[in-house]
Amino acid sequence: MVVVLGVCGSIAAYKAADVASRLVKLGHEVHCVCTPTALQFVTPLTLMTLSRNPVVSSFEEETGSWVPVHIDLAQRAEVLAIVPASANTMACMAQGFAPNALTSLYLAYRGPVLIFPAMNGAMWEHPATQANAATLAARPQHRIIGPAEDGMLACGTTGKGRLVDVDYIVREITAPMQ
């Protein structure tokens, strides 16, 4: 299965490396597409090594073919999994904004979209984020999985907002194709 793993700017971005590694070990073809902010949390070299494919993070990297990489991946992917999904990326997706390679790929993609939110609890509970999540969840083939119900967050508070467990993420990504 061809998986596009979208990685957003969240402290939980480091867990995307584990997700990529596990999917590759299960025999899947994984392509990481990162928002610019994601690269402040995890390096392209880490994701490239674990996914065994180049990492896409900007349009400037799309010079190898006449078909832009984000369009090619949107056409070949069997699932798009956003791990972790930030409030900003969810807002862009909900409203159809495409300021980066990941959100542009999202607009060109027509298959299953799995969104795994991870953010501060107050950000998750904000009415704007909840409205964006509802908009996304209402779209065909879209699922929002998480965030985890309760726990210690990176910001030191306790509440809803943590990324769901990596084992669960991998099961959810591979489930439609088993």
What residues act catalytically?
155
* Spatial contact of 118 and 10, defined as CB atoms under 8 Å apart: yes
* Spatial contact of 137 and 166, defined as CB atoms under 8 Å apart: no
The Cα 18–Cα 149 span in angstroms is 21
What is the distance, to the nearest Å, from the Cα of residue 56 to the centroid of all Cα atoms in its chain? 13
In DSSP notation, 48-64 reads: HHHHTSPPB-SGGG--S
Which single residue is written with the structure tokens 């299953």? Answer: 112
